[in-house]
Amino acid sequence: MQLPILFLGELVVLPGMVVPIELDESSRSAVDTARASSDGRLVVAPRLSDRYASYGVIAEIVQEGRLASGEPAAVLRAGRRVKISSGVAGPGTALWVETDDVDTGTVDDGVRELAKEYKSLVIATLQRRDAWQVIDNVQKITDPDQLADLAGYASWLSDDRKRELLETPEVAERLRLLTEWTRDHIAETEVNDKIAGDVREGMEKSQREFLLRQQLNAIRKELGEDEPDGADDYRSRVEAADLPEQVREAALREVGKLERSSDSTPEAGWIRTWLDTVLDLPWNTTTTDNTDIAAARQVLDADHHGLEDVKDRMIEYLAVRSRRAERGMHVVGGRGSGAVLALAGPPGVGKTSLGESVARALGRKFVRVALGGVRDEAEIRGHRRTYVGALPGRIVRAIGEAGSMNPVVLLDEIDKVGSDYRGDPSSALLEVLDPAQNHTFRDHYLEVDLDLSDVLFLATANVIENIPGPLLDRMELVTIDGYTEDDKINIARDFLLPKQRELAALDADEVEITDAALREIAANYTREPGVRQLERLLAKGLRKVATRLAQGVDGKVIIDEPNLTEFLGRPRFTPEAHERTSVPGVATGLAVTGLGGDVLFVEANAVDGERGLTLTGQLGEVMKESAHIALSYVRAHAEQLGIADPSVLDRRIHVHVPAGAIPKDGPSAGVTMVTALTSMATGRPVRGDVGMTGEVTLNGRVLPIGGVKQKLLAAQRAGLSAVFVPQRNEPDLDEVPAEVLEALTVVPSTDVAALVEAALEPADRAASVAA
């Protein structure tokens, strides 16, 4: 008989079996061919690695469908066993073979006796598995041949043995093989059961010994003799430790659990770790604050130049605390006299180093907690003790590292805390930084109240807007703006230069950097609110001096303004406002970024095309709205602004704000955009020494903005001489250093038209420049 053949690699099918198969490309081809050309019949044979199978079964396709996973499948019912003789040609894409019937031998009394013995072995195996329904089906089988092929369902037979049964046509030989294999399986099962029983008895014995040992410990404890080590050691440590009452009760409860548990259980390890953590914390240990206000101020002044707001706040804190201590006044309700300050400002102004200086001035321990990039809430509140490798949060660990309950804790980069599926660490900080709640701070690992009310928390941030509102509301904000040029010179001379000289192994007798050189470095080599780049340049110059001295140069090396390029190269920054605004349509604005204040150029141009507005430079939504408002105002007030030909505003207007790679947003560029558009429309360039900032309305009113101090510092660094600010920002000028106000002419403005007229070059001069 000629039939298509299907090879199965993971299943051996014996006569009488009904099996589902997953249809891949080759099996689909065989099934389709069988459906089309052989009445749904095909030969099913095992796939062998070294040869083609010589035996198989003729199977009938019962059903086609899909598995639960959605893959196509078919159900086959196996019939009689056949011998595969050779491959033949056939229709379809499947492989066809020639099959011959096989002789299974005669069924005599000997075969029936073998079948009876094998059936009893199968029933005994199934009884061990409580497969009673299968036993009923086996009892009904009387045909020895059918009984032998039933082994295709046996889970204890390997595929190789099932393949051997398929290739053994004689029923007597198959029954002998199955009888031998089943006996071996039963013997192996009995051994495994005996081993499992021994293990179970051993566990019961261990539990019995544990209970007896606990009873023995209790008896010894009553008698007061030979008490065991370990748990008792922890009990004595807890009783001797200076712990708050509620912490002592929780610790004694855990010691009781430890006494009732076996040393080998994981819970005993967790309890020991928890007790060690609790006993290592300085529950009632505090340091004595320095009450000498003048000495504290000297420490702060010696470590940092300027930063008067922070220094004044620390002295106020120390003065109030000192007076309360003198008068014996204690805070009611368990709340201490700690404080939570947020130091916000650009990089390099000394926020992080200020924390250690404050701790030294107050006479307290200092510990720093880096929060940049923290995204797991458990980093703040700790892990539950049930987790493997659980630890208390960073706040508790900081208290343990400090060794006192009133340290100065610096929460560095609090504006860079993130959140993801592991929780929001900034929300966990709400309880830590709330003076009304942190006297009962509860860490998930400790699960006891920890009093943080005496801790002085200092948080640092670059961008206030990145701090969540509820968290910022719990902190007292102290803004640290950038340094003036004079500040940088003083810091470089008094702090940075001695430090870098020591690092370069140089003495004051070997090298000198003049104030003129320092001023040139601060003005034209760096343009930053802080002093980090300034310190790097000083280090670079001193390294070159050390190299010259190592090469045999004699005498003292003096770095002055004329020879500065020999040590630091050419200046990196030069005033560019005059050059950028020399053509109409360019105005100089002022902005605040995460790095401090900076100048911002706004360019406007009219091009051929449909009337409209094109904005480029990675502008945010608020800044885009400012550009539309500015253009609407200029079109509506063209005559007032002196625009002789308003038709230029009906062309395609393009407004660009370099640099295009930096995102920008905010309303404070409104007056700058009005000035740039008016300059473009009138052909009058904007004065090169003028900067401006302020929000503008459709009626031309100049509204107040933020960051006036930082913007004026940036204007001074950029070499501007006049700055237009909103009149309602005049009170903010009190915070601007006197030397900055002396170097700049600050013009308060309320009407943008008057501002534009003062900012543009006179018409006659503009005409002469154009000519």
CA distances from 8 to 67, 81, 84, 163, 451 (A): 17, 16, 15, 12, 71
675 annotated to a ligand binding site: no
CA distances from 432 to 9, 182, 334, 701 (A): 63, 69, 15, 44
What is the SS3 assignment for 105-167? Answer: CCCCHHHHHHHHHHHHHHHHHHHHCCCHHHHHHHHCCCCHHHHHHHHHHCCCCCHHHHHHHHC
Q: Mention every residue, 6+ apart, whose C-beta is less than 8 A from residue 118.
A: 147, 148, 175, 178, 179, 182
So which residues are the catalytic ones?
668, 711
CA distances from 237 to 54, 273, 281, 450 (A): 79, 14, 13, 20
352 annotated to a ligand binding site: yes
541 annotated to a ligand binding site: no
Question: Given 3-state DSSP classes, what are the helix, strand and coil percentages for the chain, each rounded to the nearest 5?
Answer: 45, 20, 35
Would you say 335 and 439 are in contact if contact means Cβ atoms under 8 Å apart?
yes
First to last CA, the chain: 107
Beta bridge partners of 64: 74
What order of strands is seen across the sheet that includes strand 476-479? 366-370, 408-412, 456-461, 339-344, 476-479
How many Cα neighbours within 13 Å face the side chain of 714?
Answer: 23
> For residues 717 and 346, what is the distance between their CA atoms, to the nearest angstrom?
15
> For residues 404 and 612, what is the distance between their CA atoms, to the nearest angstrom?
66
333 annotated to a ligand binding site: no
336 annotated to a ligand binding site: no
Token pair for 15: 């006569």
667 annotated to a ligand binding site: no
Would you say 69 and 99 are in contact if contact means Cβ atoms under 8 Å apart?
no
350 annotated to a ligand binding site: yes
345 annotated to a ligand binding site: yes
Q: Which residues are annotated as a binding site?
A: 345-352
Q: Which residues are annotated as a binding site for ATP?
A: 345-352
